[in-house]
A and B are shown apart, each in its own frame.
Chain A
């Protein structure tokens, strides 16, 4: 067997293990989707009227504006779940056992990453379903929806690798649950909740150039029919860079002994 097919096979086994873990805690998915859904309802129904007026519209316009930010918040929240499950796993003896077996080393990590991506995408579907239920009416056609799915998959792939590395670096499970929470704040300091041009200089530059902004801009353009422009390339480049850095960091930490 080649080392690649071995890695695929072992990753598949590890993925089944992680999916079974999730199956044992089905409430986890609602917990992960819960926070972004609450923020969605809060921002649309409490602040939405005022913020929508600032955009030159009302509550409905603000709902259309805020959905991408809420989606990325869900990705960030799921990252905390990933980091916790990786950190918890590393404290269990079973990982030491895996290390003494002739299996593809990376499979422990890829099993976590793919499992967490599935969990993230399910949580994103729940958030989108709630948005549609409260009146979000995107203009996207099948091609644009496919694009949205692609961007969200790419983003969760990148963030999940980063979260996996954070889970491996964390000394305790508590630490693993805290660090990725910063990711849920990133949509705020970007174009997630209000346009960046209303922000003071300094903050505005950060908001414009941080990785989540082009991702949110791309999703927003695809959903509401705006021009995608070059934000999709920035989004792709950021995701590739974060995924690669996260992967290398995670692999290094896992192999360090």
Chain B
């Protein structure tokens, strides 16, 4: 759905994007992850025909945004970082405006507007001016407006920035529903959890360069640090276990032992068998796998960690 090679963009001396390659297959969710100022919004602006790239081969829905912008525009829906709704119009009027601009015709446009109001839980607020909406409602209306023309490709630029946890969960549900309908999603976010929850593939953008790309699991494998924490009921059990495991990391005040391990069933079974044989009864056990936060911090550190 999207292929990009060698994408560059600079404003004067300031290089925003420094040679980016992206490949987003149809029907998938792709997350562009990065800190503020990494170039995420610029990438979306270029792919959605808002601004021109300085260099690079770009194909969006089979067309070049620079030479065939209208063909690209006809295939996409865009949700901006700042809710792009008309505050003076009501929610329903905003959607009908989009329907009219998609030339849906009066009856069909109104039907589509009501359908989306229903789908995005805005029916009760349909007659209220959008300026009176809460942040979450505005964002929902914003996304709904991008979907009026039933695009095959949707850009979501930081769709949950500034939303409360419940609204964020609801937004994630919405995104999953879209993909179930066969829509391709290009998502930007600075929340690792969001990329982890939603995306099939994640690209990490930092200072205008892609520093890593892959599935969430692939990215997590890039940083070591998985371990298992075992907690015991009393001192004798702890000591028996420490001897059996030849453990270096023993906390006798907390009655815990930390051993390196990836948390797979095989590792755990071997571990528990060893402890059983030593008659050391484990009270509880927690597995810590490296999360995307570890990856993100390691990859976007000012000095390369590795």
On A, residues with C-beta under 8 Å from B are 1, 9-10, 13, 16-17, 20-21, 24, 92-94, 96-103, 257
B48, B50, B88: the one contacting A24 at CB < 8 Å is: B88
Quick check: B84 and A96 within 8 Å, CB to CB? yes
Is B53's CB within 8 Å of the partner chain A?
no
Quick check: A102 and B85 within 8 Å, CB to CB? no
Top-9 shortest CB links A-B = A93-B84, A102-B73, A97-B84, A13-B100, A102-B74, A100-B78, A93-B82, A102-B70, A100-B48
Is B247's CB within 8 Å of the partner chain A?
no
In the assembled complex, the CB of A17 is this many whole angstroms from the nearest CB of chain B, namely: 6
Quick check: A17 and B76 within 8 Å, CB to CB? no
Quick check: B52 and A20 within 8 Å, CB to CB? no
Quick check: A257 and B86 within 8 Å, CB to CB? no
Quick check: B80 and A93 within 8 Å, CB to CB? yes
- Chain B residue numbers with a CB within 8 Å of A16 are 97, 100
Complex Cα distance, B81 from A96, in Å, reads: 11
Residue among A10, A17, A97 facing the most chain B CB atoms (10 A cut-off): A97
Complex Cα distance, B78 from A13, in Å, reads: 20
In the assembled complex, the CB of A43 is this many whole angstroms from the nearest CB of chain B, namely: 36
Quick check: B51 and A17 within 8 Å, CB to CB? no
Contacting A at CB under 8 A, from B75-108, are 76, 78, 80, 82-89, 93, 97, 100-103
For residue A89, which residue of chain B has the nearest CB?
B86
- Chain B residue numbers with a CB within 8 Å of A94 are 84-86
Known: A20-B88, A94-B85. 16 other contacts (CB 8 A): A13-B100, A16-B97, A20-B89, A21-B88, A24-B88, A92-B84, A93-B80, A97-B78, A97-B145, A99-B49, A99-B50, A100-B48, A100-B73, A101-B73, A101-B101, A257-B52
Quick check: B101 and A103 within 8 Å, CB to CB? yes
Q: Mark B171-208, 1 if CB is under 8 A from A, else 0.
A: 00000000000000000000000000000000000000
In the assembled complex, the CB of B113 is this many whole angstroms from the nearest CB of chain A, namely: 14
Complex Cα distance, B48 from A217, in Å, reads: 51
Quick check: A17 and B89 within 8 Å, CB to CB? yes
Residue among A1, A9, A20, A101 facing the most chain B CB atoms (10 A cut-off): A101
- Chain B residue numbers with a CB within 8 Å of A101 are 73, 101-102, 149
Residue among A93, A94, A96, A99 facing the most chain B CB atoms (10 A cut-off): A94
- Chain B residue numbers with a CB within 8 Å of A98 are 101
Complex Cα distance, B71 from A123, in Å, reads: 42
- Chain A residue numbers with a CB within 8 Å of B87 are 92
Complex Cα distance, B145 from A98, in Å, reads: 11
Quick check: A17 and B80 within 8 Å, CB to CB? no
Is B129's CB within 8 Å of the partner chain A?
yes
Complex Cα distance, B98 from A100, in Å, reads: 12
Complex Cα distance, B49 from A13, in Å, reads: 22
Complex Cα distance, B191 from A2, in Å, reads: 45
In the assembled complex, the CB of B71 is this many whole angstroms from the nearest CB of chain A, namely: 8
Complex Cα distance, B105 from A9, in Å, reads: 11
Quick check: A92 and B86 within 8 Å, CB to CB? yes
Complex Cα distance, B89 from A16, in Å, reads: 11
For residue B89, which residue of chain A has the nearest CB?
A20
Complex Cα distance, B103 from A13, in Å, reads: 10
* 6 A–B contacts from the bound complex (CB under 8 Å): A1-B103, A20-B88, A92-B84, A92-B86, A97-B145, A99-B50
Complex Cα distance, B82 from A96, in Å, reads: 10
Complex Cα distance, B129 from A93, in Å, reads: 16
- Chain B residue numbers with a CB within 8 Å of A21 are 88-89
Complex Cα distance, B131 from A92, in Å, reads: 12
- Chain A residue numbers with a CB within 8 Å of B51 are 257
B48, B73, B97: the one contacting A13 at CB < 8 Å is: B97
Quick check: B101 and A100 within 8 Å, CB to CB? no
Residue among A10, A100, A101 facing the most chain B CB atoms (10 A cut-off): A100
- Chain A residue numbers with a CB within 8 Å of B70 are 102
For residue A25, which residue of chain B has the nearest CB?
B88
Complex Cα distance, B86 from A139, in Å, reads: 47
Complex Cα distance, B93 from A15, in Å, reads: 13
Complex Cα distance, B100 from A20, in Å, reads: 15
In the assembled complex, the CB of A1 is this many whole angstroms from the nearest CB of chain B, namely: 8
- Chain A residue numbers with a CB within 8 Å of B101 are 10, 13, 98, 101, 103
- Chain B residue numbers with a CB within 8 Å of A13 are 97, 100-101
Complex Cα distance, B106 from A16, in Å, reads: 14
In the assembled complex, the CB of A161 is this many whole angstroms from the nearest CB of chain B, namely: 23
- Chain A residue numbers with a CB within 8 Å of B146 are 97
B76, B86, B97, B100: the one contacting A100 at CB < 8 Å is: B76
- Chain B residue numbers with a CB within 8 Å of A1 are 103
Quick check: A93 and B103 within 8 Å, CB to CB? no
